[in-house]
Amino acid sequence: MGLVVQKYGGSSVADAEGIKRVAKRIVEAKKNGNQVVVVVSAMGDTTDELIDLAEQVSPMPAGREFDMLLTAGERISMALLAMAIKNLGHEAQSFTGSQAGVITDSVHNKARIIDVTPGRIRTALDEGNIAIVAGFQGVSQDKKDITTLGRGGSDTTAVALAAALDAEVCEIYTDVDGVFTADPRVVKKARKIDWISFEDMLELASSGSKVLLHRCVEYARRYNIPIHVRSSFSGLQGTWVSNEPIGDKQVEQAIISGVAHDTSEAKITVVGVPDKPGEAAAIFRTIADAEINIDMVVQNVSAASTGLTDISFTLPKTEGRKAIDALEKNRSGIGFDSLRYDDQIGKISLVGAGMKTNPGVTAAFFEALSNAGVNIELISTSEIRISVVTRADDVPEAVRAVHTAFGLDSDSDEAVVYGGTGR
């Protein structure tokens, strides 16, 4: 008997009808002779609504209580899903992350999984149950507090359980038919990808393609768990994410896998920094000590007359307030004139392993942006990715222009978005 882990995102269980539809699908997998573990997200936009609510009572809610609140969303859907399955005549039991053995560090709101001890899940399966696990949550190893894994974290729960239970596959069910060459909400002509390597998927995910979370892909690569991303609304084959193409189908690695965009970041510019050794170190030590991850960094050429320079970096908007406060607090230690905060930026990234060996990709990327009249503010590259920061308003047009320029437009169907609000 095979063991499969299936994860259903919030858009797939947005209402009672959705929960009943998903329950039927889960029962089918069980009837096909599998042991089935299901990871479920909060219904629809529940997590966003809980965040809004928290912000109404406190501008900076305490991490521990915030996590306690957010995990309630997944507890609702796991219990309802178990009920719906029982109603179809099959045994199911729901478990919180903590009960399922998801052990994390104690960094609230973005905890990392450090161990998974799924003893209770194994027992439930052996007794003939379908096990339903609340995604996105765990319990901290030292303090035994409830933690969450960061937005989109149910993907990571699913892969971590698949690894711990030695599952054959981790199926991620969502509101689109798989991973596309760009977000189908922005590019109607985006094409579904049949197979993509962990390497390229990791870059797409960390560049903003939220169809899979980058930590989940990282985890899957480490434990070599194949992921099948597909729609819970259709019966179509989705996208396989793995080291090598799965099955006998010969799929060639594309030169360019896709275009990703991200409007969740902001830019901070530290103005009037003395151009001497140790300044960048002092700035980024301050940011690191506040446990904030940064993305792109640029330093301007210093003005000869003043010996002062500017340093800009990007970071998640959600960390903006914390970063500004930390820098202000350390202003005398670091030495700078002022801080500028800009949250009207967007990032566009072109991803593909073929970039390494195909000259001209960078030139074609900048030409496409220039033809679309898009101004570039920051640039960063890796071996298999080029990213630029632009005005947020320019992002949709820029993504479409780059997608077309690299011949990624589909010449047949339009990409379907089955549900979700895209929030």
232 binds ligand ASP per the rule CB under 6 A? no
Closest contact distance (angstroms) between CB of 146 and Mg ion is: 20
The footprint of Mg ion on residues 144-183 (CB under 5 A) is 152
Q: Which of ligand ADP, Mg ion, ligand ASP, none does 42 bind, CB closer than 5 to 8 A by kind?
A: ligand ASP
What's the gap between Cα 144 and its chain centre?
Answer: 26
Could you tell me the maximum CA-CA distance found in the chain, to the nearest angstrom?
79
Q: How far from chain centre, in Å, is Cα 61?
A: 23
What does the alpha-carbon distance between residue 208 and residue 210 come to, in Å, rounded to a whole number? 6
The pair of three-digit structure tokens given for residue 251, joined into one six-digit string: 């799929």
H or E stretch at 329? helix 320-329
Quick check: 136 binds ligand ASP (CB under 6 A)?
A: yes
Q: Which listed residue (130, 131, 162, 179) binds ligand ADP by CB under 6 A? A: 179
- Shortest separation between residue 100's beta carbon and ligand ASP, angstroms: 15
- Least separation in angstroms between CB 136 and ligand ASP: 4
Q: How far is the CB of 38 from ligand ASP (least distance, A)?
A: 14
Taking a C-beta distance cutoff of 8 angstroms, is the pair 13, 39 a contact?
Answer: no
**140 belongs to the binding site for ligand ASP (CB under 6 A):** no
Contacts of residue 133, defined as CB under 8 A and 6 or more positions apart, other chains included, come to 37, 38, 39, 40, 78, 94, 95, 96, 97, 100, 102, 121, 157, 161
Selection from Mg ion, ligand ADP, ligand ASP, none that 422 binds (CB < 5 to 8 A by kind) is ligand ADP
Q: Does the protein bind ligand ASP through residue 238 (CB under 6 A)? A: no
For Mg ion, which stretch binds (CB under 5 A), given 5-13, 49-57, 139-147, 318-326?
A: 5-13
Q: Which stretch binds ligand ADP (CB under 6 A): 18-26, 45-53, 176-184, 402-410?
A: 176-184
The answer to the question of residue 346 lying near Mg ion (CB under 5 A) is no
Token pair, residue 93, equals 């039991």
Q: DSSP string spanning 184-227?
A: TTT-TT--B-SEEEHHHHHHHHHTT-TTS-HHHHHHHHHHT--E
Chain residues in the site for Mg ion (CB under 5 A) = 9, 152
Chain residues in the site for ligand ASP (CB under 6 A) = 9-10, 41-42, 47, 73, 135-136, 151-155
